A and B are shown apart, each in its own frame.
Chain A
């Protein structure tokens, strides 16, 4: 089951805050990353930045889906800001392992996002709320 909720107030670049709730399952990740790419496109990110965001969201979602408790849901919030797009992805996990414990995934996210933070909070009932929050930049310069 998936849910999409769009805020009534219009934000930067005429894009609104959007919340997506999908099953925490690998086959839902392509849906979320396409959503992310579409938002970035409408915010007029450059084409490389759109691809970077698509990949970053894919990575963040895949990382959290792997950690998610059985039958739980993946929550993804998109918050357009003046120049950037803030993306917050969260799941409930039994384990309190922080996402950065996967060094390669974390390095990829670091390379793709302007800034990156993580949170692990107790969520009651023996589960932990694990969150990855990233800010995507609207242009990319190649490291040649």
Chain B
């Protein structure tokens, strides 16, 4: 695991853009590394969101990582971990509340969240508390209060933590078994999708195209692309039986 040089990554890089073997090989590599996506997703489950949704987001990150990995770099982990985390982090820029927060604070949170999104755009990175305070004309303590309250969106952290098997959160031993199963399972599921769904999934997750670009190319609205992707991923996940293999 330390020197992770999956020979399939090099093989993938060597295939021409239009090679029909590409899609199958890509999904095979993705399936082989699903444990990584799961483990990282689990780090974010303190925010009270359903773990399988997070695994889905992490898997998107994983697919992007496979897609963009430069084999010259050597270590796939070193590239995949930040890519998957970036995906999860973006996903969390907008989440629901798990505990009751005083109304005024909650409204202030919406304001801070909006300002955060806006400043992220202009700054090209997440804003600092001081920048939020300046932008909104609040004092820093108010922003701190909102941010700490925002952290309580994590809600269930303690319970979730205790539910983890103690001392063995990563389950290396059985990883190979999972891999074999997932690899075998994912390829036929992808192949069984209707033409349009498969095309959208491939464009989005294997080529990294935006939903708007896909919408233009496939000739549907962006909203439809979004709905089809969500539905298709649900199917794939159900087909993989992710829930039952989650422990470990």
Give me the interface of A with B, judged by CB distance under 8 Å: 26-27, 29-30, 34, 37-38, 41-42, 44-51, 55, 58-59, 62, 66, 102-105, 107-108, 110-112, 138-144
Contacts and interface: CB of A to CB of B under 8 A. Distances in A.
Interface of B: 1-2, 36, 39-40, 43, 46, 77-79, 81-83, 85-86, 89-90, 92, 116, 124-130, 144, 147-148, 151, 157-158, 161-162, 164, 166-167, 169-170, 172
A102 B161 CA distance: 19
Given A41-B129, A41-B147, A105-B170, A30 B82 contact: no
B238 to A, nearest CB: 27
Given A48-B89, A141-B125, A111 B81 contact: yes
A37 B77 contact: no
Chain B interface helix/strand/loop/mixed? helix
Given A27-B158, A34-B151, A103 B77 contact: yes
Given A38-B148, A108-B81, A143-B83, A44 B130 contact: yes
B220 to A, nearest CB: 25
A45 B83 contact: no
Contact of A104 (B46, B151, B158, B170): B170
Contacts of B2: 103
A58 B2 CA distance: 21
Contacts, number: 88
Nearest to A50: B147
Nearest to B79: A143
Nearest to A112: B85
Contacts of A105: 170
Contact of A111 (B39, B78, B144): B78
Contacts of A140: 125-126
Contacts of B162: 26-27
Given A102-B170, A107-B78, A143-B86, A30 B125 contact: no
Contacts of A38: 148
A111 B82 contact: yes
Contact of B78 (A58, A62, A110, A139): A110
B86 A144 contact: yes
B29 to A, nearest CB: 17
A105 B162 CA distance: 19
Given A34-B151, A59-B43, A112-B85, 14 more contacts: A26-B166, A27-B162, A30-B161, A47-B128, A47-B129, A50-B147, A51-B89, A55-B85, A107-B78, A108-B81, A139-B125, A139-B128, A142-B90, A142-B125
Nearest to B86: A142
B166 A142 contact: no
Given A26-B162, A30-B161, A41-B144, A48 B170 contact: no
A143 B68 CA distance: 11
Nearest to B4: A103
Contacts of A37: 151
Contact of B126 (A27, A47, A103, A104): A47
A58 B43 contact: yes
Contacts of A102: 170
B77 to A, nearest CB: 5
**Best-surrounded residue of B85, B170, B172 (most CB of chain A within 10 A):** B85
B167 A66 contact: yes
A28 B167 CA distance: 14
